Structure 1
């Protein structure tokens, strides 16, 4: 308990609560005197000794139940307990249509078994240990853990299972009972996962020193950024772009005379007895010509906005950029950037295509591009796609992207999702990936800036 209390105090400090060493010692002494048997008394003891500002009470009340709680999992019920032997055989037969992993998960739900500590520990191991997190990210992290456990596929499998049972003549009342029990047990799993996400964050807060605000923001995943943090990142983009512009300009100056071609120089020196009297150079490096197609649906909006901000902040080092955005249709947005500063231009584009619950359809956007803008792709063009490759089960039109890849010099994809999520749910990324020369994971601004750096400085 002393170790847990020390971690709790560290997490309070990491959350901005000022606690001196003397106050920590007072808390340990008070707990020793008051005991830990009565949870409410224990809570009040810590709150009295550690909190001296009423503004910090909310932080204390949010952290305490995550550190000091019962280890009992949420209650679950056995869904298949009242089935007859024939119904149990029908259920087993219906389950055989699913992959082994989904079968095991559904059977566990039917039996009313909670997630084991080993399964929850495995979820922790999947997290990037260097990713900065705080308690505002608990819901996001819980959703990530659900994706890792393939919850979307599990929900779809449950619906298909219940539908199959109805087709097999299963009693309608029994099907409804199974549906309710499975949903309740799945909700209990979600509670376990959310609790585990909170503990994961708290352990990091307790054990890792806080990063400088700007550094933490650069590493912060786009899905976890608040509107205020986004305003700060827009300022960071200008700083990153200035450094990138300097490196690009230096490369172009060095390339003005061309790069030394050692093989051609050695061949020319043969007539002088292998003495390299005539230096030969490769062709001059040309400024890149870019075509950028950005997904600005709700999940991708911040990533695409910052990508466009970076590109247009270094536009003097690029031959030309044709910029497009899409949700379920393609929009040509280059004119906005021709007449407005980048931040105002992006704001105008976002107003024209406001956030909301759309059906993202990259396949249709590629079709629009082929019909109206295919002529801008040529052998000097670098085609860049910014998106997660999720199409809401629409036709991905891989054939069109293959055609674009043949016309362009290079096809590059910037995707915020890790490789192991490709192909899950409505992701078509595994079909798109073989057509790309390079794929960058860009889940935060630091990765995005590094990707742009590598694309343009190669």
Structure 2
């Protein structure tokens, strides 16, 4: 039961749904308490435990129905292989039994696998498959790309090609004897096996290879292990682990922002209201009236460099901004390398993995060009200047390496003047600022703050500063 649910959760994740470890455990506990007999109740319990967002429910329902309804591994093997031909003497058709007996004698018999496939002997077939799919052989696999090769090896060892040849010879022998009806029945059985048998073996191989590779995978690194490691040096496994960490960080930041916004700063006395209220007590202000502090709405504009040199940092920043879009307020996101494109609607319409993938590889920009910060800032002002107001916090993520293009300092200064805050997160080590084609120090003079942001620790502190400045 647990293995079935774990595989189901892995499919949800591969389809873009965010399911944490704690949510997975909740789902397993809920299914253990409810059971799978009542399918609607079982489905509702898993949905409540695993799905956080209303917009993800249709995708969950689709995956659940495909996985738990008529799942291939739940269908008896006898149905997948057909019921097979009857054993000699058991068909109730003496002519067929006699035809098969004479044909077998003329051929000198057929192999055990051929006999088992013809008759649908599931026990023998399964035992042969498992015998040729030993744990030692599975342990040698290193990639899911080896599934096809391993499936062909298992089929060869089981004697599938030999069995097909023997069935063809049996058909020819029956035709030679003039037993055309029996030959047609064997031919239909062969066609049935050619369609079903390799597919079944492939499914079994896929299941076992995936389980084997899961046991070989190293444990996901913890946040403490990634705290000070440079984003540019992350492995694929560390990138996957970091995505989960960023999601946790975003949830914490949303809670912190809401708490700070509610608490506000020092209260200010509302003198007119206090005096009006004091008229009922002969002008003595027994109760003070305070001005209500207007809560700041989260109003963020992100300009994110998605060139290859800062790709991982861009992914994590876009993921954070995606999560913050659920917060009270307005978040607009733009990506650039040379030219610039808005991806706000992409984030609103897609799940997080798909949205980040589109933003970093399929937005309306030229991905093979060199970074041109000046051009991106100018395009932003000319085409999207309405995004700026006295309540807007502008965040730029990029290394400030201009490739010696026009830096457009006047555009940067105008953005700074029209926005409430202008914060620049630089994923390059500070010692490299100002070297080569880097003009980060010059850009820093036009920002409220430029901070180094090349690891998890620095990203956390940068986002905490952002929340403090917007609450």
More relative contact order in 1 or in 2 (CA 8 Å, sep 6+)?
1
Q: Which one has a bigger Cα radius of gyration?
A: 2
